[in-house]
Amino acid sequence: MHRHQLDARNMLCPMPVIRTQNRMATLSAGDILEVRCTDPGALRDIPSWCRINGHEVLDSRTEDGEVVVIIRAGHQVGGS
């Protein structure tokens, strides 16, 4: 299990979701990805993307005006 970080600040939706998707495609099942965004829409969209693609959201919160989403990769990684 590896921890990874993704900086998606100053991007507007859907770019944070697309970057998350593309990064998740490079991870292995069980890996953790922490995504940081400034677009508040990401708080809803990234968890939604995770639900339909079989990844687990471990935490999502707003911290100092930034959205932080922590994801554990499910088995459907790769191939987006």
Partner 1 sequence: MDQIRRAVALISGGLDSLLAARLMLDQGIHVEGINFYTGFCVEGHTHAIRERRRTKPLRNNALWVAEQLGIRLHMIEVVEEYKTVVINPKHGYGAHLNPCLDCKGFMVGKAREWMTAHGFDFIITGEVVGQRPNSQRRDALPVVARESGAFDRLLRPLCAKLLPPTLPEQEGWVDREKLLALNGRNRKPQIALAEHYGFRDYAQPAGGCCFLTDASYTKRLSDLWSNRGHRQYDLDDIMLLKVGRHLRPAPNFKIIIGREEGENRYLSGYRGRFVHMAATSHRGPLALIQGEPTAADIDLAARLTARFGQGRHAGMVTVEVTDPHGGSKLLEVVPLASKEISEDWYL
Q: Looking at 10-18, 27-35, 56-64, which segment touches partner 1 (CB under 8 A)?
A: 10-18
Q: Which of 13, 18, 43, 68 is catalytic?
A: 13
| Spatial separation of the C-alpha atoms in residues 41 and 12, rounded to whole Å | 8
Residue 1 interacting with partner 1 (CB under 8 A): no
Q: Confirm if 69 and 47 have CB atoms less than 8 A apart.
A: yes
For position 26 contacting partner 1 by CB under 8 A, the verdict is no
* Cβ atoms < 10 Å from Cβ of 14: 16
Give dist(CA 15, CA 31) in Å, integer: 22
Q: How far is the CB of 41 from partner 1 (least distance, A)?
A: 4
Asked if 59 contacts 74 with a C-beta cutoff of 8 angstroms, the reply is: no
Task: Look up 13 and say whether it is catalytic.
Answer: yes
| Contacts to partner 1 by CB under 8 A | 10, 12-15, 17-18, 21, 39-41, 43-45, 48-49, 51-53, 76, 79-80
